[in-house]
Every structure is written in structure tokens, then in C-alpha cells.
Amino acid sequence: MAPPPASTRRPEPDDDLGLFGPGSVTWRVHAEPILAVAGLRALYFQGLHPRAMAGMAQNSAYKSDPWGRLMRTVRYVGTTVYGTTAQAEEAGRRIRALHARLTAVDPETGETFRIDEPELLRWVHVTEVESFLSTARRAGVALSDADADAYYAEQRRVAALVGLDPATVPGSAAEVSAYYDQIRPKLRVTREAADALLFLTAPPMPKRLGLTPARLGWFGLAATAFALLPGWARRMYGMPGLPTTDLTASLSVRALRLTLAMLPRQLYEGPIYKEAMERVEKSRARATMPSMRTAGTAKASRRFAPSATAPISAAPTTKPT
């Protein structure tokens, strides 16, 4: 049986560069190790939504297993950004199935609500991607306003993985700003949010790191992440929202990015990222093969074709008898 036309074949695994690919703003942003600070900023930010915070406090293992939960989150984000399309979709399927089973109780009204309510999913998504983008830009990553809008638009694909309608998710910087203006009246610091703030700032350190400089290093990281929040969000937590704090935070995160740039890349490039880079190289190699074959065929044709100026040998003749 003849193979199907190229246009109808399913892509080989090595051809699948995932939801985004090397030409995307998403890959540029997420290649930056400084996003570790952004992830912590997002957690501080997300705690300001009372129901989102209640859902996390009542269902998450962030206190009993903070580092395990952190690694699971890192793995999920890495898979959606750098995994194949199938890997990203499977990660989304698992997270949707998990959320569908979970409920929480509103601490003020006593109402039971689902964790996968669109409002909660949207809040978590927007604060996460806005944290990634704003932290990268303030750290000195060269991203234009058009890049920022493209990033938000690209990230709607990730929003769809958790069950959101992409049309309901902000897809530009202006839409994100308008979303924050719209939701701010619903935000406040609850007892659970204040408790999470303290825990995230001084969590139990992994074994053998509790009494080492790692404790001070984490505290500095957490202070920078918190200072990167919008001034109005810091004020909700009862902290200063001064412009000088914004400037200090920007200088700190920029210096941290420069420091990280001096580290060997293998220290922070995980297996998901490395596999993605291998697929890119294989895809590029295959893309050059047709042109190489075409060039080789043309060269062979020139080699074996009769010359336009060479005489053509005559067929032997037989002398008549």
C-alpha cells in the first residue's frame, strides 16, 4: 500500500515541537532561569483571591510537601511549554481530571465550590503568565510591547489545557491590565493568605540545607519575588507599595539574572528542555535533507549527462558486400 500524501501523514514524534516552538515568544521567555523568581511571585499574587487561596489551602500539599509540589509545578509548566503536543495535552488532561474531583469550602460563606470554576482557573492562569512576563522584562530580557502581546496570546493555548475557553482569557497586555482592574474589588488578604505568605517566605528547607546559606538565599529570593508584585498588591498585604520598592526590586532581579547567566547551563536546563532542543535539531536536519538531495541529484545529472559540445559517437557501419 502506498504511503499517504505528506500533507495527511501524522507528524513523527521528532517533528512535533509542541504548542509553541522555537519561533515563539514563549520559548524565549521560558528559557530564562530567572522565572524561578516569577513562580514565587505568582504564588504570592494568587493568595489574594479568597476562594483560590481557600482551594489551595484545603487541597494542596504545599505545607506537608512544599518542595515536591514545587517540582510537580515546574514539571507541568515545562511540559506545556517544551513538551510535544501529545505530552502537553496529556498533562492538561491529568490536571483537569484532578481539578474535577476537588472542592473547597468558602471560609466566609460556608459554601462548597469546585476548584475548576472558570473564575478561579482564570485568576491562577493570568497571575502566573503575567508574573513570568513581567519578571522577565524587569530582569532585562529584551521583549517589546508586541512581544508581550504575542506571549499573552500564545499562552491562551495553556489556558485551554486546564479547561478554560481561550476567548475568555486576556490575550494582550491591555487586556491583562483591564482584567486586574475588574477583579481587584474581589481581592483581599484572608487568614489563609497571610499564613501562606509567611510559609512561602520561610519554608522548611530540604534535608541538609536547613542550617546552610541556602536559608538566607531563599529569603532573599522570596523578598525579591514579593517586591516584584504590583504596588497595590503589596499594600493589600500591609506592605509598602512605594515606587522606590519597585526600583529596588527591578535592580535586584536584574542583578540576579546576570548572576545566573554565569552558571553552567546544565545546572538549570532540565530533561524536558533538552529533549525539546534535540527535536529542534533533528527537525532542522531533516528540513535541509531535501535541498541537499536536490543539489546532489543536479550534480549527478551534470556529471553523467552528455556534454553539449562533445561529439556523439556514430553507430558502427557494415560495409556492403
Task: List pLDDT tens digits, range 16-67.
Answer: 999 999 999 999 999 999 999 999 999 999 999 999 999 999 998 788 888 8
| pLDDT attached to residue 169 | 98
Note whether residue 72 is domain-resident: yes
How does 133-170 read in b/e, with b if 16+ C-beta sit within 10 Å? bbbbbbbbbebeeebbbbbbbbbbbbbbbbebeeeebb
pLDDT at 207: 75
Number of domains in the chain: 1
At 300, is the secondary structure helix, strand, or coil?
Answer: helix
- The more confident residue out of 242 and 200 is 200
pLDDT score at 240: 84
pLDDT band at 211 (very low <50, low <70, confident <90, very high): low
Contacts by residues 62-70 (CB-CB < 8 Å, ≥ 24 positions apart): 62/196, 62/199, 63/199, 66/199, 66/203, 66/204, 67/203, 67/206, 70/39
In a domain, 266, yes or no: yes
Give domain status of residue 3, yes or no: no
DSSP secondary structure letter of residue 202: S
pLDDT digits (tens, 9 = 90+) for 241-297: 888 899 999 999 999 999 999 999 888 889 999 999 999 999 888 877 655 454 444
Separation between Cα atoms, residue 261 and residue 226, nearest integer Å: 22
Query: Using a CB cutoff of 8 Å and minimum separation of 24, what contacts does 251-254 make?
Result: 252/224, 252/227, 253/34, 253/37, 253/135, 253/138, 253/139, 253/224, 253/228, 254/138, 254/139, 254/140
pTM of the model: 0.84
For residue 305, being part of any structural domain is answered with no
Q: Give the residue-averaged pLDDT of 72-94.
A: 97
% of the chain residues with pLDDT over 70: 84
Please report whether residue 155 resides in a domain.
Answer: yes
What is the tally of helices (H) and strands (E) in the chain? 14, 2
Indicate whether 187 belongs to any domain: yes
Q: Is residue 318 part of a domain?
A: no
> Is residue 306 helix, strand or coil?
coil
Q: Tell me whether residue 297 is in a domain.
A: no
CA separation for the pair 171, 151 (Å, rounded): 8
User: 220 lies in which domain range?
Assistant: 11-201+215-280
Torsion of CA 96, 131, 74, 82, to 10 degrees: 80
